[in-house]
Amino acid sequence: MNLESLVLYDKIHQCVTLSGVAAKKGRHTTIKDLGVIENAAVVVDSDTARILWIGKSLELPQQFKEIVNQYSCEGEVWLPELVECHTHLVFAGDRSHDFAMRSSGKTYTQIAAEGGGILTTLSQTRQASVQELLERAQIDIDRFQKLGVGTIEIKSGYGLSLESEIKILKCIQTLQQIVSVQLVPTFMPAHAIPPEFKERSDDYVKLICEEWIPEITKLQLASYFDVFIEDGYFSVPQAEKLCLTAKDKGLSIKIHADQFKSLGGTSLAVKLEAQSVDHLDHINREDIKALSNSPTVAVLCPGASLFTGTPYAPARELIDGGARVALTTDFNPGTCPSRNLPLMTTLACTQMKMTVAESIAGITYNAAAALGMENEIGSLEIGKLFRVCQIKGSSYESLPYMFGELE
């Protein structure tokens, strides 16, 4: 073994490995599953950027004691880099007026039906130059990164014409050249019905299936496909048609379901073996059961519930049933303009009665699973990528406790 390519991080005050969470594939997480090592050491192979050994400093194998590149990490608390598995990060403008209208009693759906909501952001995003979109997105990515995030999923969906959806997906591609965070692009043309297709949503679905999905996959601009199932947006049969076409072209599936109403989106996600089904604030009992036994990850968005003043997803029932539960900001201008993923753990613990351990698994291992990346990131184990974040405070319990103030 070439000792020169190895790096030893020693005397780490506390290292949260999530080894037990990974062993149980993110279900029924307990404190023990966090695999916390006090006074830890990590050996990294800098050629592959992978973890070669991890354990207690006192148990460091003899052969690693001679490593030249050694760092002493006294007082530090380490976790796997955080994973943000659901954002709508490329957009222009803001929606402060929607918020003001909600504060005077209008609902999200009423505002959308009157032409506000997603369509407001749509026209601003269509008009914006690539440079404007990039500058703003970079600021948002930097903010996520400052708060410990190393991977961000980004959806298109504020263009809703082939040209402007390509503009957004190409922005994500360009951003990946500029930022050090890993980006995961998702094509979401079925985010709303664009004005050109008002009252003709079936025609819009047909166009997406016949022309847009083939074009986006040919250009290799996305890994995932997402659809918003809701009254006034897309129905379950429309979503099924879209997702089957996308799957057939090699995209993996994500679905926005049960955000304001239970319409059967979760059953569809389970049936299609979607990677994740997101929101679930109004999921019904039957769908909780279906999801609990499936590999599809339940991605919950407590920031969107807080910001729109709507109910929180039934996290306890989902977790107790055995579901894999991840947490996200759902960062977007309409329902959650927050880039603070650690804050979501605070909300999860206080508003959805999740435990600290479950909330930490929700922004690491289970969020990685929502992106199909749990074999590479999301826990700190031998063979996995060495991607860590250091948090302020004396222990991992500081993460939800700090109320988002982790810088």
Kindly write out the interface string for residues 74-113 of this chain, putting x where it contacts ligand NIG by CB under 6 A and - elsewhere: --------------x-------------------------
Tokens of 329: 């900001």
Residue 296: which H helix or E strand, with range?
none
Residues 220-239 that bind ligand NIG (CB under 6 A): 228
Name the one range near ligand NIG by CB under 6 A: 22-30, 204-212, 327-335, 372-380: 327-335
CB of 332 to ligand NIG, least distance (A): 4
Q: Which is nearer to ligand NIG, 9 or 108 (CB)?
A: 108
CB of 250 to ligand NIG, least distance (A): 24
- At residue 83's C-alpha, the angle toward residues 117 and 365, to 5°, is 125
Give the one residue of 330, 338, 368, 380 binding Fe ion; rule: CB under 5 A: 330
Q: Is 339 in the site for ligand NIG (CB under 6 A)?
A: no
* Residue 365 to residue 17: CA distance in whole angstroms: 10
Count of chain residues binding Fe ion (CB under 5 A): 1
Q: Is 257 in the site for ligand NIG (CB under 6 A)?
A: no
Neighbours of 180 (CB within 10 A): 8
β-strand partners of 400: none
Angle between helix axes 162-178 and 118-127 (nearest 10 degrees) is 70
Residue with tokens 């354990």: 55
Q: Which is nearer to ligand NIG, 43 or 169 (CB)?
A: 169
**Residue number closest to Fe ion, CB atom:** 330
Q: Is 84 in the site for Fe ion (CB under 5 A)?
A: no
Q: What is the CA radius of gyration of the chain?
A: 21
Name the one range near Fe ion by CB under 5 A: 65-73, 242-250, 290-298, 326-334: 326-334
Torsion of CA 390, 396, 402, 405, to 10 degrees: 10
Q: How long a stretch of residues is the chain? A: 407
Contact 87, 41 (CB under 8 A): no
Q: Which is nearer to ligand NIG, 255 or 354 (CB)?
A: 255
265 binds, among Fe ion, ligand NIG, none (CB under 5 to 8 A by kind): none
Query: What's the one-letter identity of residue 283?
Result: I
CB of 211 to Fe ion, least distance (A): 24
Q: Is 153 in the site for Fe ion (CB under 5 A)?
A: no
Kindly write out the interface string for residues 271-310 of this chain, putting x where it contacts ligand NIG by CB under 6 A and - elsewhere: ---------------------------------x------
315 binds, among ligand NIG, Fe ion, none (CB under 5 to 8 A by kind): none
Residue ranges of the alpha helices (H) in 128-184?
130-146, 162-178
* Residue 346 to residue 368: CA distance in whole angstroms: 20
Q: Is 343 in the site for ligand NIG (CB under 6 A)?
A: no
β-strand partners of 15: 37, 78
Helix, strand, coil distribution of the chain in percent, nearest 5: 40, 20, 40
Q: Is 240 in the site for ligand NIG (CB under 6 A)?
A: no
19 binds, among Fe ion, ligand NIG, none (CB under 5 to 8 A by kind): none
Q: Which is nearer to Fe ion, 84 or 330 (CB)?
A: 330
Residue 360: which H helix or E strand, with range?
helix 356-362
CB of 362 to ligand NIG, least distance (A): 17
* Residue 348 to residue 123: CA distance in whole angstroms: 33
Give me the half-sphere count of Cα atoms (radius 13 Å) on the Cβ side of residue 147: 25
**What residues line the site for ligand NIG (CB under 6 A)?**
88, 117-118, 121, 228, 256, 259, 304, 330, 332-335
**What residues line the site for Fe ion (CB under 5 A)?**
330
